[in-house]
Amino acid sequence: MKARPVKWDDEHELLARSRAGDREAFSILAQRHQHQVFTLATRLAGDHDLAADISQEALLRAWRGIGSFRGDARFSSWLYRITVNVAWTQLSRRKRTQHAPLEVVDNVAATPSSFDHPELAFESANLRGRLRRALLRLPQRSRVVVVLRDVYGWSHAQIAEALGISVSASKVRLHRARKRLRTMLENAT
Amino acid sequence: MRLVQSTVCRVSRPLVRLGAVDQKDGNSLVARHAGHCLRCQAERAIEHRIHRTLAAMEGNVIKAPAGLVPGVISSLDASVDYPELEFAKAGERVAIAAAVVGVVSVVAWTLTRRVRSTA
Ligand SMILES: [Zn+2]
């Protein structure tokens, strides 16, 4: 009897093989999702080196825990939750308040000060770069909530579960962070 | 995106507070006020623009460093690291085997003692 050919483009098959301990199958899954994981980690951490550490740890945890992935959620969503969890733990461990290097994520050229021209702060062309910079200046734990809610569209219940905080804590943190972002945008230089 | 107090004009701040208490009445009063208040409309436009810009960031994918996945896979190869389920199964088998050995040795020991005491 001929062995059934492996369908490397079939995520279900890759998952089944990974669960059985097939590293090659897991490697393909990891390659397929690595950029999304790294993007999320970079947005949460605001730092490329730290994001690389977080992504590596998240993929390792995914390998170790793949037996518990039942397939009722999408694999990418499951991987995202692990990434958020790892990022939150690493950021809490570091508890650094220093600002991440701005040029890492933000390649937008310097824009004129909005101090003299407040309307400039909210022009579309300016806004993206300013927002990215403002996000990086937020305290790390506030940034995590804004990124998950406003960039990735998570519900407060999802955020609360992933970070191990209450729903109301998530709401309060988001409210304060948005206010802070807004002030930063208005006063950005 | 729900309006927060800081993003509406002075006139509508008490309405927003009311909205926090009685969402239906409060929100409809805010909406009616904002319908003809240019300050509130400008604020809303700004808030929406910020929200849209943040949401659009999800689509901007940042490329992972080339060594990320090879690094993960090589660290899997370096360690005898199996998915937890497989590991748990192996652990269960070891535990069952140990329990069987334990029961057998207790029975054997009891039988031996009985045989000796009756002899
Ligand atoms: Zn108004």
CATH of the domain at A16: 1.10.1740.10
Please report the pLDDT score of residue A105 as a whole number: 44
Please give the structure tokens belonging to residue A80: 């995202």
Taking residues A30-47, report their average pLDDT.
95
Asked if A8 and A69 sit in the same domain, the reply is yes
Q: How far is A31 from chain B (nearest CA, A)?
A: 6
Taking residues B68-82, report their average pLDDT.
80
Average pLDDT value for chain A: 83
Tally the domains of chain A: 2
Distance CA A85, CA A44 (A): 11
Q: pLDDT confidence of A33, banded at 50, 70, 90?
A: very high
Q: pLDDT confidence of A99, banded at 50, 70, 90?
A: very low
Distance CA A12, CA A14 (A): 5
Please report the pLDDT score of residue B105 as a whole number: 65
**Phi, psi dihedrals of residue A107, rounded to the nearest 5°:** -100, 10
Please report the pLDDT score of residue A20 as a whole number: 92
Q: How far is B99 from chain A (nearest CA, A)?
A: 25
Asked if A125 and A73 sit in the same domain, the reply is no
Q: Which residues contact A54 (CB under 8 A, 6 or more apart)?
A: A41, A44, A45, A83, A86, A87, A90
Please report the pLDDT score of residue A115 as a whole number: 39
pLDDT cut 90: percent of chain A above it: 61
Which of A34, A1, A29 lies closest to A15 in space, CA to CA?
A29
Please report the pLDDT score of residue B81 as a whole number: 53
Taking residues B95-109, report their average pLDDT.
60
Confirm if A132 and A108 have CB atoms less than 8 A apart.
yes
Please report the pLDDT score of residue B1 as a whole number: 43
Please report the pLDDT score of residue A62 as a whole number: 96
Asked if A2 and A75 sit in the same domain, the reply is yes
Asked if A84 and A122 sit in the same domain, the reply is no
Weakest mean pLDDT among A34-43, A145-154, B42-51, B63-72: B42-51
* Residue B4 clears pLDDT 50, i.e. is over it: no
* Residue A101 clears pLDDT 60, i.e. is over it: no
Asked if A82 and A130 sit in the same domain, the reply is no
Greater confidence, A177 or B118? Answer: A177
Distance CA A28, CA A125 (A): 38
Q: List, as ranges, residues 14-73 from A with C-beta within 8 Å of B.
A: 18-21, 23, 26-27, 30-31, 34-39, 42-43, 48, 52, 55-56, 59-60, 63-68
**Which segment, A161-170, B32-41, B78-87, is predicted with the most confidence on average?**
A161-170
Question: How far away, in angstroms, is B38 Cα from ligand 1 center?
Answer: 7
Q: Are B53 and A128 an interchain contact pair (Cβ–Cβ within 8 Å)?
A: yes
Distance CA A35, CA B65 (A): 9
Q: Are B64 and A37 an interchain contact pair (Cβ–Cβ within 8 Å)?
A: yes
Q: How far is B18 from chain A (nearest CA, A)?
A: 18
Q: Are A56 and B62 an interchain contact pair (Cβ–Cβ within 8 Å)?
A: no
Please report the pLDDT score of residue A5 as a whole number: 67
Q: pLDDT confidence of B12, banded at 50, 70, 90?
A: confident
Taking residues A29-57, report their average pLDDT.
96
Please give the structure tokens belonging to residue B26: 């409060």
Asked if A70 and A120 sit in the same domain, the reply is no
User: Is A103 among the domain residues?
Assistant: no
User: Is A110 among the domain residues?
Assistant: no
Distance CA A44, CA A143 (A): 7
User: Is A111 among the domain residues?
Assistant: no
Average pLDDT value for chain B: 72
Asked if A3 and A93 sit in the same domain, the reply is yes
Asked if A77 and A157 sit in the same domain, the reply is no
Confirm if B72 and A30 have CB atoms less than 8 A apart.
yes
Confirm if A69 and A75 have CB atoms less than 8 A apart.
yes
User: Is A87 among the domain residues?
Assistant: yes
Q: Are A151 and B88 an interchain contact pair (Cβ–Cβ within 8 Å)?
A: no
Confirm if A144 and A176 have CB atoms less than 8 A apart.
no
User: Is A104 among the domain residues?
Assistant: no
Question: How far away, in angstroms, is A117 Cα from ligand 1 center?
Answer: 22
Q: For B58, which of A48, A60, A152 is closest by C-beta distance?
A: A152
Greater confidence, A62 or B14? Answer: A62
Query: Domain of A173?
Result: 116-189
Q: Which residues contact A2 (CB under 8 A, 6 or more apart)?
A: none
Alpha-carbon torsion (A167, A168, A170, A171), positive or negative? positive
pLDDT cut 90: percent of chain B above it: 18
Q: pLDDT confidence of B18, banded at 50, 70, 90?
A: low
Asked if A189 and A148 sit in the same domain, the reply is yes
Please give the structure tokens belonging to residue A178: 């948005």
Asked if A1 and A93 sit in the same domain, the reply is yes
Distance CA B43, CA B64 (A): 37
Q: Which residues contact A133 (CB under 8 A, 6 or more apart)?
A: A102, A106, A188
Taking residues A1-27, report their average pLDDT.
83
User: Is A8 among the domain residues?
Assistant: yes
Asked if A4 and A89 sit in the same domain, the reply is yes
Q: For B86, which of A67, A124, A182 is closest by C-beta distance?
A: A67
pLDDT cut 70: percent of chain A above it: 79
Please report the pLDDT score of residue A144 as a whole number: 95
Which of A74, A105, A107, A111 lies closest to A185 in space, CA to CA?
A111
Asked if A6 and A92 sit in the same domain, the reply is yes
Please report the pLDDT score of residue B8 as a whole number: 64
Q: For B61, which of A39, A63, A175 is closest by C-beta distance?
A: A39
Q: Is A138 on the interface with B (CB under 8 A)?
A: no
Q: How far is A39 from chain B (nearest CA, A)?
A: 5
With 0-12 / 13-18 / 19 or more C-beta atoms within 10 angstroms meaning exposed / middle / buried, residue A40 is buried
* Residue A109 clears pLDDT 60, i.e. is over it: no
Please give the structure tokens belonging to residue A76: 């990418």
Please report the pLDDT score of residue A123 as a whole number: 62
Q: Are B62 and A181 an interchain contact pair (Cβ–Cβ within 8 Å)?
A: no
Would the ipTM clear 0.90, i.e. be above it? no
A-chain residues near B61 (CB < 8 A) = 35-36, 39
Tokens 């009063």 sit on residue: B29
Q: Are A38 and B65 an interchain contact pair (Cβ–Cβ within 8 Å)?
A: yes
Q: For A30, which of B46, B51, B72 is closest by C-beta distance?
A: B72
